[in-house]
Structure 1
Amino acid sequence: MLSDLHAPQPRRSRKRRNPRLGKLTTTEEGNTALVGLLLDQSPHEISTVTPDGEYGGDPVYQAVAERAPDAAMVISPRAMVVLSATAETASTQRDRHIQTIAENRHLGWQKAVGYGKRSLIEMAMLRYKALISRSFHSRTLPTQKTEAKLACKVINITTGIGMPVS
């Protein structure tokens, strides 16, 4: 039947492998389910977490709070976000961010929390991907780490050559 051919198809659920963890996640889960595992890999104390907007939900805030309660979360809340039920009694970082945006608008919040550093990080990653590659050529994690260190060294040298001395 012709109508069956043109019926809306359900969205495919693909599994993606997170290269850092070697874990599979579905499209619906996304990488937010793996934030806790990524944080567990850090040998250093975590002071600030600055991911993009995909990670702006409660699961990420909870994962960071469990592993680093004093860490500053710098995540831009989504447009239609609302305060939590406990905002009046036990305000969370996420609630405070939402309140700051309501009082000072989005640009005021960005200045208050240092959100501009995120764009510097994004520019560094853009440079890395443009100059070196979007993916690793090595197959094992130790050689990928070496490859990343060498790539960063190359970028630092080339950036140093082109930067004016002031």
Structure 2
Amino acid sequence: MPNKHNAARRHHIAKMKFRVTNWVEYEAGLRRRGSLTLWITPEALAKWRASRRRTPGGQPRYSDLAIETTLMLGCAFGMLRLRQTEGLMNSVIDLMGLDLPVPDHTTLSRRAQKQPTRIRSSLPDGPLHVLADSTGLKVYGAGQWLQEKHGAKSRRNWRKLHLAVDADSGRIVAHTLTDQDTDDPSQVAPLLDQIDGEIGQFTADGAYDGAPTYRTVLRHSDAAQVVIPPRSKAAQRSDTGPPGQRDSHITAIAERGRLNWQAATGYGKRALIETTMGRYKALIGPRLRARCFAAQQTEVAIGCAVLNRMLATGRPDSVRRKNRQP
């Protein structure tokens, strides 16, 4: 692996240490993440009930905003089950003295399969530095354990959560959910379709290496810089988009080494998306609770929105400390 050079002697390399420069603000933000103080804006109250439909069929009672708010509340406070989420929302409405109906658990389960799954987030000004990667999420059930223990094919598999993260703000700007057999490069286009802003740099690991990824990124932003480590035996080609960025990466690695190439291109920032995936599994959970695929897509969208809200309350500004020489 590129990051395992000199593995036999790595115990002599001092571990990097960082210092948080905004500890007071960050600590206050961590406390706000657990606060039970809630409020509903007048704009949200006006949109709580669904507008009447003019097509045949029953009239919806709750708007998408009401369903999303209830699901986010249950996700933020420990991934509650739908019945517990209904009870929590009922208590909040009663404490606020509001005369609003609360979606019951059956309505939440049914509407979660039709809920819009795109993340609504404000993007910073200027070109984005997008980081892309994927991680596996367990599906509800015994899954692979049954297959390994009894040798029977199980219907319980994995899902792959593909994320696109803004390297500067740490916010999740796009996501997709696929089955376990979907490869990473095929999800670059669906991720970039969710990003309205211009991309300055696209960074991903070696699984995304190939002409399709370069063409997809440059089709979205023709001036984008694509930073993907080529394979160790990669050959130069002319079909990876002008001005032959992949060929320049191969040449730079051959001349200066892979570690120097990582430092020159800023590839080290890719570790931030690993941190984001770790935060998702630690705060939201490593397993999907919904049974059907449509509801699972809504579940991960709600989880990503909750992570962005938590990040907005406080984010550490850390700087690297200089290691003392022995």
Bin the TM-score by the shorter chain. Answer: 0.5 to 0.7
Judge conservation of contact 1:39–1:67 (CA < 8 Å) in 2: yes
Letter aligned with residue 277 of structure 2: M
Question: How many equivalent residue pairs?
Answer: 144
Structure with the bigger percentage of helix: 1
Alignment match, 2:259: 107
Greater alpha carbon shift after TM alignment, 117-126 vs 75-84: 117-126
1:126-155 per-position Cα deviation (integer Å, ceiling 9, x unaligned): 233223313565737667544323234446
Partner Cα distance (1:62, 1:122) in 2: 25
- Which of 198, 219, 224 aligns to 1:45? It is 198
Is residue 2:303 matched to residue 1:147? yes
User: Structure 1 or 2: larger strand share?
Assistant: 2
- Structure 2 residue aligned with 1:123: 275
Shift of 1:86: 7.5
- Structure 1 148/109 Cα, relative in aligned 2: closer, same or farther at 3 Å? same
Larger Rg: 2
Q: What TM-score does the superposition give when structure 2 sets the normalisation length?
A: 0.37
Distance 2:179 2:277 in 1: 24
Q: Alpha-carbon deviation of 1:40?
A: 1.7
User: Mind listing any 5+ residue stretches in structure 1 that lack a counterpart?
Assistant: 1-15
Uncovered stretches (5+) of structure 2, i.e. residues with no partner: 1-157, 162-174, 322-326
Q: Give the superposition deviation at 1:159.
A: 6.6
Q: 2:188: which partner in 1?
A: 35
- On the 8 A contact 1:51/1:74 being kept in 2, the answer is yes
Percent same amino acid among aligned pairs?
34
Do 1:128 and 1:152's aligned partners in 2 also have CA atoms closer than 8 Å?
A: no
1:10-29 residue pairs with structure 2 within 5 A?
20-21=175-176, 27=181
2:220 maps to which of 67, 71, 77: 67
Q: Compare relative contact order (CA 8 Å, sep 6+) and give the higher one, 1 or 2.
A: 2
Tell me how far apart the structure 2 counterparts of residues 158 and 135 of structure 1 sit (CA, whole Å): 26
Q: CA deviation at 1:59?
A: 0.9
1: CA distance, partners of 2:312 / 2:177: 29
SS of corresponding position for 1:62: helix
